[in-house]
Structure 1
Amino acid sequence: MSTIGRHVTKLSGYAPALPTPFNQDGNLDADAFAEFCSRQVDEGASALVVADTMGEAPTLTPAEHVRLIHIAREVSNGRVPVIAGCGSNSTEHAVDLTQEAEDAGADAVLLVVPYYNKPTQAGLIAHFREIAQSTALPVFLHDEPSRTVCGLADATVARLAELPQIIGLKDATGDVTRPCHLRPLVGAEFRLMTGDDATALGYLAQGGDGCISVTSNMAPGLCRNVFLAYRQGQIARAQRLAVQAGRLTSALLCEATPAPLKYALSTLGWMSPDVRLPMVPPGEAVRRQLDAVIAQSSVEYAASMIGRRLCFGHRPRAA
């Protein structure tokens, strides 16, 4: 049985960190989000990650947060798990978000390290334990010190992994060797998912389970094939595909996400490029760079996938 699509406790492969589309009035575009979720599931996403950093979580209202989970849950219809971003630098607020996500039908929650207030490692343990005890849902930790300043020490991850509800880590440190350090501490069942597309293949090779991904929003089939080629021992093919994905990744991360990603998706007709302040759309130079990389990626992937459905170049289905 393929690891793609298994229950969240066996999560592996590429799971897109979904952007949140807005309409011209600045409100949530529910239709565009539902269509985008459907495309991702059809193309082999292993989970739908909703209302995380890529979804502009700090700018979402509580009602929007719940609505996104409901939409993803309805589209998924049990085919892949829905993981809801519920992190906050207020433990009480994170508990509220987590309980709302559970009521809305999420399969798991993703909890980022508290930002700005710089807790100690003991504070982080207390924070995540408090949230885990407030819900029946499985919990993924999210370590991204470039955004939060404070990071999770390996020993802290190991302590938290002793709690049965804490089942995995989104590791956005960019340290490709981290699975080697963590795996002996957390055990074989603990899900180690990189949050860094640029080093995803190396992370897999060091014992990671997959990637919570920016790039798979644009090229879900390409990213899925990188993972499957690696798992099937086709290392040379995985490396070739990873080079293609890497060029796209570099362009999508040339400015703070999700602005470049949403612009790129807008060129394919998949959603509006609009972001909420304090994010702003990318400038002309970045747009030109993205246009060029998207065009090149379309040609490369088409050449490698003759006879199969492409990730690039098809418009959304009619509503």
Structure 2
Amino acid sequence: MDFGRVSTAMVTPFGQDGTIDFERTAALINYLIENGSDSLVVGGTTGESPTLSNDEKISLFEYTVAIADGRVPVIAGTGSNNTQGTIDLSIKAVQAGVDALMLVAPYYSKPSQEGLYQHFAAVADAVDVPIMIYNIPGRSAVNILPETIIKLSLIDNITAVKEASGNLDQMTDILSNTSNEFLVYSGDDGLTLPLLAIGGHGVVSVASHIAGNEMQAMIKAFTEGRSQEAATIHQQLLPLIRALFAQPNPAPVKVALDDKGIACGGLRLPLIPLSLDEKEMVRAAVETFNHQVKLLK
């Protein structure tokens, strides 16, 4: 399955009482689909997955599938460091109607490469939907090496990897040794264009909450051979991306969404709201970006 060029790792909107606000979630889903998102990742780190119960995740999966209504693929974040727990949640996510799964590398446990392979292979064997592997050593404390990704790509329903190692050499090794049908996505917004240049397919993005159309424009410019235009958009996006990750994700992007009229509520501990100074930094970056976009039009 092709998840498109820009897959948004969706925030989870909360109400004043801290529970999931499904009315806000519907508004967010419609906004994202209308503004550059080719697919939606639900229940990932940006969605504050560590603070969501499995029951909440399943409700969120079901609701997102219903609101998306086939307009874009819905990818459920079901990975954990408990293989059987991952299998159980993955089966329930498939029953909820999601189109695909995203499985993060088992965190904290620090398994061997063979342990990683067996973990992902066991989940893939238990479900019949496409799977995107998520490699993020900075959060999981283990790097899924290229040879492990290459071996996993031979499993029929493991069809993509979200690479957030930040290592373009590693991504090149994966691209060089997997089929053209196996898709490599950037897990870092700022590496979208460099990854495209070495043969990658797209990005699983946080910045697309705010700049989804512009990210699509950058990718389109690159794929159509307008490399200088793509580079210009990349240069404009980068300060915005830095601002959105200057504090723990998704605190900054929730502020930016609120300012756009897409209310997403607060955060669950251990994440905390931004200070006034931190909010102003985000707002200044968004304002500068919006001004540059207007100048281009």
Amino acid at match of 2:195: Y
Match of 2:89 in 1: 97
Q: Does 2:247 correspond to 1:255? A: yes
**TM-score (normalizing by structure 2):** 0.97
Contact kept? 2:16, 2:265, Cα under 8 Å? no
Gaps in structure 1 of 5+ consecutive residues: 1-8, 306-319
TM-aligned CA deviation for residue 285 of structure 1: 2.5
Match of 2:174 in 1: 182
Q: Does 2:295 correspond to 1:303? A: yes
**TM-score (normalizing by structure 1):** 0.90
Q: Does 2:162 correspond to 1:131? A: no
Amino acid at match of 1:60: L
- Name the SS for the 1:24 alignment partner: coil
Amino acid at match of 2:90: T
**Number of aligned pairs?**
297
CA distance in 2 between partners of 1:132 and 1:71 (Å): 24
CA distance in 2 between partners of 1:154 and 1:303 (Å): 41
TM-aligned CA deviation for residue 44 of structure 1: 2.9
Contact kept? 2:108, 2:140, Cα under 8 Å? yes
Match of 2:50 in 1: 58
How big is each residue's C-alpha offset from its partner over 1:100-158, in whole Å with a ceiling of 9 and x where there is no partner? 11011100000000001111111111111111111111111000000000110111101
Match of 1:317 in 2: none
Match of 1:194 in 2: 186
How big is each residue's C-alpha offset from its partner over 1:234-275, in whole Å with a ceiling of 9 and x where there is no partner? 111111111121111000010121111112211222123411
Contact kept? 2:15, 2:265, Cα under 8 Å? no
CA distance in 2 between partners of 1:259 and 1:271 (Å): 13
Match of 2:21 in 1: 29
Match of 1:75 in 2: 67
Q: % of aligned pairs identical?
A: 32
Q: Does 2:111 correspond to 1:145? A: no
- Name the SS for the 2:184 alignment partner: strand
CA distance in 2 between partners of 1:191 and 1:250 (Å): 26
Contact kept? 1:266, 1:272, Cα under 8 Å? yes
> CA-atom RMSD, angstroms?
1.2
CA distance in 2 between partners of 1:231 and 1:40 (Å): 22
CA distance in 1 between partners of 2:261 and 2:2 (Å): 33
Gaps in structure 2 of 5+ consecutive residues: none
Amino acid at match of 2:209: N
TM-aligned CA deviation for residue 284 of structure 1: 2.6
